[in-house]
Amino acid sequence: MRNGLPIAGNTPVLEALELGFRYGEVELFWGLSFTLQRAQARVVLGPSGSGKTTLLHLLAGLLRIQVGDVRWEGRSIRQEGEEKLAQRRLHTIGLVFQHHYLQPELTALENVLVPGYLADRVDIGWGLELLERVGLGERAHLLPKALSGGERQRVALARALYNRPKVLLADEPTGSLDRRNAERVMALMLSLSQELGTALLLATHDEHLVAGLPEIRLG
């Protein structure tokens, strides 16, 4: 993959196939199709209420699909039972949200290791390496309350990448940060997704932060 373009011949790591979703009589999107290849980055743009969060939840298997299908590495998730889907998600999807959702009683390193405990493969060395990559190696043993907002979001990014997911879904990950920290977190997401071969789908309303990325527009 080069410059956000997919490598020809590879099975997409993520596919949206004719997705549609309604809340009551309100149609958020309909007939939406796109693919993501390994290490490809794309952005979902749209105003508040256009369905960006709903779309990411559908792609992550956190919301029941109404119309269409979602495939992870060529396999549909639509008919999966909750337990099997949760296990597939653990090894396929990384999630970053606007709010970091760190566990306040755990250190930065312990927060990064949480997905490892869930997957029964804890690797402290890998957790420390990820914190080094996001510039927080020396703050690994601090609690979230001792970290700045930008630092907490970087811990959340390291946590999302711990299980080496095929796809990183980021929902307004810089929405609560000032411009300097927003740009830093954005740059880290892009560089780490390239480095680790993880596809990135980013939902945001801030078009200036994602200039040049292929777009999926809602609303």
| CATH number of the domain within which 169 lies | 3.40.50.300
Give the C-alpha separation, 64 to 5, whole Å.
30
Stretch 205-216: mean pLDDT = 90
**Is residue 159 situated within a structural domain?**
yes
pLDDT band at 2 (very low <50, low <70, confident <90, very high): very low
Domain that holds residue 182: 39-57+87-217
The model's pTM is 0.91
Domain count, the chain: 1
**Is residue 70 situated within a structural domain?**
no
| 92: phi then psi, degrees, rounded to nearest 5 | -115, -40
pLDDT at 48: 87
pLDDT at 79: 86
pLDDT at 71: 98
**Is residue 123 situated within a structural domain?**
yes
- Count of CB atoms situated within 10 Å of the CB of 157: 24
**Is residue 5 situated within a structural domain?**
no
- Count of CB atoms situated within 10 Å of the CB of 214: 14
**Is residue 79 situated within a structural domain?**
no
**Is residue 163 situated within a structural domain?**
yes
